Structure 1
Amino acid sequence: MDTIKYFELTRKREQKKKPRNKPLPKANEKYLEAFEDMERALKILEIKYETLFQFKSTKHWRFDFHLIEYRILVEIAGGPWSAGRKRKCFSHDADREYTAYEMGFTIVRLESAARFKINEAGPLHIQASFAQQWLKNLKRHTFNEPNQTISTD
């Protein structure tokens, strides 16, 4: 129907069409750099992982990495799936982290910024430049543990 004819019949303007879905959020340069460094370190150390892991299919909650053997979820701060470095949607993030803890995951945040504020009540914070060292320590720690399948009695 023509817009002028529609206006004459209804005395209303035709509604403007809105986009049905929002575009995906974009990542900044520091985030992408930290993401690539982390992925490179995981490949070198041969740690099994998943990228952009969605632990609950009904929610749009994603973590950047899931370290499968250790049940650790790694989130790089400032990324498109986190609420950003300034944490504008803190309650959204807190709900996501609480649900992950209930499911038995451990959460680690990699901070891509040079300066950041540590939330004592939240997950473990590591500066992105120390991520590779943290992964080496994690791998070494599991090698030094006793085998759980063999009884010590």
Structure 2
Amino acid sequence: MNEKQYFSATRKKPIKTKPRTRPLPKASEKYLEAFERFKEILDHMEIKYEEYFHFKTTKHWRFDFHLIGYQYLIEIASGPWSGGRGGKLATKAWSLDRYDHAEEMGYRYIRFEISDINSGRATVWLRKLKASHGTDQTISTD
């Protein structure tokens, strides 16, 4: 039955359904550019990573990157999964508990602003991180 037939039969308009959950906001163009730039930096520095890392399967929490071997979770500000640190954190994806759970599971996290990635501060931090972990001990120097 289409809307006109329904209205003529019942004299009521059809019920408008609301989505049950609030969707994540769309990622901004600046965020997407910073995300791609950060991936290029990681590839250039030969650091292994996972994108959109989901560290706890029972929660809707994600971080933008997981640096494999370093146990670091990277979050880029203004991304759809970051959701901001203050204000109304009404949905599960934006819960601040995820930082505590990540630390309990042995991960460390860092949050980069888009300006940090574009200005090179993130690159400097990655160089220091790589230098602090030294060379890969599984590869023989002979």
TM-score range, shorter chain: 0.7 to 0.9
Structure 1 match to 2:114:
112
Q: Which moved more, 1:86-95 or 1:74-83?
A: 86-95
Structure 2 match to 1:82:
82
Which SS does the other structure have where 2:75 is aligned? strand
Q: Runs in 1 of length 4+ with deviation above 6 angstroms?
A: none
Query: Do the aligned partners of residues 19 and 144 (structure 1) sit closer, same or farther apart at CA in structure 2, a change above 3 Å counting?
Result: closer
Which SS does the other structure have where 2:134 is aligned? helix
Structure 1 residues not aligned, in runs of 5+: 114-126, 148-153
Q: Which of 3, 6, 22 lines up with 2:6 in the alignment?
A: 3
Shift of 1:5: 6.2
Shift of 1:37: 1.7
Structure 2 match to 1:117:
none
Query: Do the aligned partners of residues 76 and 89 (structure 1) sit closer, same or farther apart at CA in structure 2, a change above 3 Å counting?
Result: farther
Structure 2 residues not aligned, in runs of 5+: 138-142
Shift of 1:20: 5.8
CA distance in 1: counterparts of 2:46 and 2:71, whole angstroms = 16
How many residues were matched structurally? 129
Residues 6 and 14 in structure 1, CA contact (< 8 A), matched pair in contact too? no
C-alpha distance after superposition, 1:47-69 (max 9, x if no partner): 11000111112222110000010
Residues 65 and 73 in structure 2, CA contact (< 8 A), matched pair in contact too? yes
Shift of 1:7: 2.3
Shift of 1:17: 2.9
Structure 2 match to 1:63:
63
Query: Do the aligned partners of residues 90 and 23 (structure 1) sit closer, same or farther apart at CA in structure 2, a change above 3 Å counting?
Result: closer
CA distance in 1: counterparts of 2:9 and 2:24, whole angstroms = 35
Give percent identity, aligned residues only: 49
CA distance in 1: counterparts of 2:126 and 2:105, whole angstroms = 22
CA distance in 2: counterparts of 1:69 and 1:89, whole angstroms = 34
Aligned partner letter, 1:36: E
CA distance in 2: counterparts of 1:19 and 1:27, whole angstroms = 20
C-alpha distance after superposition, 1:66-93 (max 9, x if no partner): 0010110000011111114x74345844
Q: Which moved more, 1:74-83 or 1:22-31?
A: 22-31
Q: Which of 123, 126, 132 lines up with 1:135 in the alignment?
A: 126
Query: Do the aligned partners of residues 81 and 88 (structure 1) sit closer, same or farther apart at CA in structure 2, a change above 3 Å counting?
Result: same
